[in-house]
Amino acid sequence: MSRAQQISRRIKLRHLDMFVTVVEQGSMAQAADQLGTLQPVVSKAIAELERMLGAQLLDRGPRGVAPTIYGRALFKRSKAIFDDLRTGVSELEVLADPSAGELRVGSTEACATGLTPAIVDFVARRFPRIAFEVVVGDAKTLLERDLRGRRIDVIVGRRLATAADDLQFTRLHHDRLFVVAGTSSPWAKRRAVTLAELAEARWCLPPITHPIGAMVADAFRRSGLRYPDSAVTTQSAPFTGSLVASGQFLGVLGSLFLGIESSRSGLAILPVDLRIAGWQTGLMMLGGQKPNPAMKSFIACAREVAQSVADSVPALPGGGA
């Protein structure tokens, strides 16, 4: 029997649980409080773990503890163990009741304003025994830290430009970009509008450094026009929609947002062809893993929601349709 096998048989889950909690809390005392035990108990467990492994896992100091290079390696693997254990328990619950379980969903900020809540609401109504944990963040953090770190099961967001072999993407919607105005705006009554005519209008736009702002800037450039001097600059689609509905400004919004907000009064899509190819929005998961019944239900419901969004967007020219 190898030394690794001998050590792995001696280490108990409580050792790893206490070690992970100490690293996360940065203090033996705080870890003890978190675990509902005494500090000497935690200190003894860490000492036993270090003795079994033959390596110092923590640097102790007056301000608390921090993992050593050995501690960081063990922490990473220990987190994966507990995540796999949690997933296993959840799968057992699902096998006992296919309509129950837990789903950990990551969502980009853009999808968190409409698509992700719509999917979660739809799933929760159909399968009320499924519990959700939703994490909102930027795409890179959700992918590198949360999905690959097995903190979440799926990401709802825009497809990344660079695909990776370890990822599986399920397309939900081909998002397009539309120019919008308030229904009370004179522009809303026009049957034909060119981008050149709108160049001097008052706009509410994302900054040019934002992906959507860069697309709009490119559309103006290809039409021989400069990027408008925005009276209002924002990255928020809900804010843009509310402000444009007042009738004073023009803006750009994606078909996904407009479809989900189709019941919102006060917005009109202008027949302007931005000649933008658009982008894919969908579900991103780690490849090579068979979805459990709860995830299968989530995927099926997400497709239904996305189809209803697609059906509610008017088939007008523009937005790279």
Residue 320 in this model has a pLDDT that exceeds 50: no
pLDDT at residue number 245: 92
Phi first, then psi: give them for residue 227, nearest 5 degrees.
-65, 130
Residue 15 in this model has a pLDDT that exceeds 90: no
Q: Which of 3.40.190.290, 3.65.10.10, 1.10.3720.10, 3.30.40.10 is the CATH number of 177-277? A: 3.40.190.290
pLDDT at residue number 149: 85
Each residue of 109-165: pLDDT tens digit?
Answer: 889 988 999 999 999 999 988 889 999 998 889 998 899 888 899 999 998 776 567
Mean pLDDT value across residues 96-111: 82
Mean pLDDT value across residues 41-45: 90
Average pLDDT of the chain is: 85
Domain 177-277 in the same topology as domain 97-171+288-311? yes
If one compares 184 and 95, the residue with the highest pLDDT of the two is 184
pLDDT at residue number 315: 56
pLDDT at residue number 285: 92
Each residue of 160-200: pLDDT tens digit?
Answer: 776 567 788 999 998 889 999 999 999 988 888 889 989 88
Split at pLDDT 50, 70, 90, the class of 319 is very low
Rounded Cα gap, residues 52 and 46, in angstroms: 10
Domain borders along the chain are 3-77, 97-171+288-311, 177-277
User: Which tokens go with 33?
Assistant: 């409080």
pLDDT at residue number 180: 93
Rounded Cα gap, residues 65 and 241, in angstroms: 48
- What is the CATH class of 3-77? mainly alpha
- What is the CATH class of 97-171+288-311? alpha beta
